[in-house]
Amino acid sequence: MNHFNIEDWTDYVRGVSNPELRELMDAHRAAGCARCERRVDILARLNATARSEKTVEVPDHLVRSALALFASQSSHYEERRSSVPARMVFDSFMQPLAAGFRGQQRVSRQVLYQAEGYSLDLRIEQERDSSQLLVVGQVFDRARPHAPIGHVPVLLLSGPRLVLRIDSNDFGEFQLQYEPTSPLSLHLPIPETLTNIEVNLAAFSQDDEQPGSQQLIQ
């Protein structure tokens, strides 16, 4: 008995076989070929599963996040070429120490970065006697400060290696905690434009020499 190949049976279950070939295949099944009948059953179930998945709607923000993540990680060389280094425009450590600062149990630093048309506001905190840093941040479009940028991938990289990945909330806000080791960088690929904001975290990986702080970010 001559059997049909899997390509023919795939077209058969999809209903795209030419009429003459389909008649031959129907006759083959009617003859009781168990081998081809098993093949038809498997392909028919696969086809049904594929058709059902077409009805699944993936939220737009997940699609944008996936595209942005793929763009940022396709190659670490490509990533570095496409990254936009952020420029620090404000650092609270450059401001005079407030009264009572030395008595605080938490050491905090506020910094503001800019890259192209975007701003990244970061607050870095460290509990005394703790080596980990807590980063609370928000990214926003300076041209549209009242239009939040939601669901932005936030990537913590050590060189080309991904250490941590989270997504910002609807307002572009995020929070992460990490051990400050070198070399670390923060990357935020903006979904709408694929602009990849890069912040070098080396300044927050060393002990601070400023009076009144311990083991802090410098």
Determine phi and psi for 21, rounding to 5 degrees. -70, -40
Q: Tell me how far apart the alpha carbons of residues 136 and 125 are, in angstroms, rounded to a whole number.
A: 8
Give CA torsion, residues 161, 89, 168, 183, to 10 deg: 10
Q: What is the pLDDT of residue 209?
A: 40
Q: Tell me how far apart the alpha carbons of residues 154 and 95 are, in angstroms, rounded to a whole number.
A: 28
Determine phi and psi for 184, rounding to 5 degrees. -120, 145
Q: What single-letter amino acid sits at 81?
A: R
- C-beta atoms surrounding 84 within 10 Å: 16
Q: Which residue has the higher pLDDT, 91 or 73?
A: 91
Q: Tell me how far apart the alpha carbons of residues 21 and 49 are, in angstroms, rounded to a whole number.
A: 25
What DSSP string describes 12-77?
HHHT-S-HHHHHHHHHHHHTT-HHHHHHHHHHHHHHHHHHHHTTPPPPHHHHHHHHHHHHHHS-HH
Q: What is the pLDDT of residues 24-49, one digit of tens each?
A: 999 999 988 888 898 899 988 888 88
Residue 80 has pLDDT above 50, yes or no: no
Of 69-73, 93-97, 175-179, 201-205, the poorest mean pLDDT is in: 69-73
Q: What is the pLDDT of residue 161?
A: 87
Q: 101: pLDDT confidence band, cut at 50, 70 and 90?
A: low
Q: Tell me how far apart the alpha carbons of residues 145 and 38 are, in angstroms, rounded to a whole number.
A: 60
Overall average pLDDT of the 91-114 stretch: 72
CB 167 within 8 A of CB 154: yes
Overall average pLDDT of the 164-189 stretch: 91
Q: What is the pLDDT of residues 1-25, one digit of tens each?
A: 578 888 888 989 988 888 899 999 9
Overall average pLDDT of the 189-213 stretch: 71
Q: How far apart are the first and last CA of the chain?
A: 79
Residue 216 has pLDDT above 60, yes or no: no
**Burial annotation 124-147 (CB, 10 A radius, 16+ → b, else e):** bbbeeeeeebbbbbbbbbeeeeee
Residue 75 has pLDDT above 80, yes or no: no
Q: What does pLDDT average to over the chain?
A: 80
Q: What is the pLDDT of residue 112?
A: 96
Q: pTM score, two decimals?
A: 0.57
Overall average pLDDT of the 133-158 stretch: 91
Strands 184-189 and 153-158: antiparallel
Residue 51 has pLDDT above 70, yes or no: yes
Structure tokens at 14: 């999809």
Residue 60 has pLDDT above 80, yes or no: no
Tokens 């077409």 correspond to 54
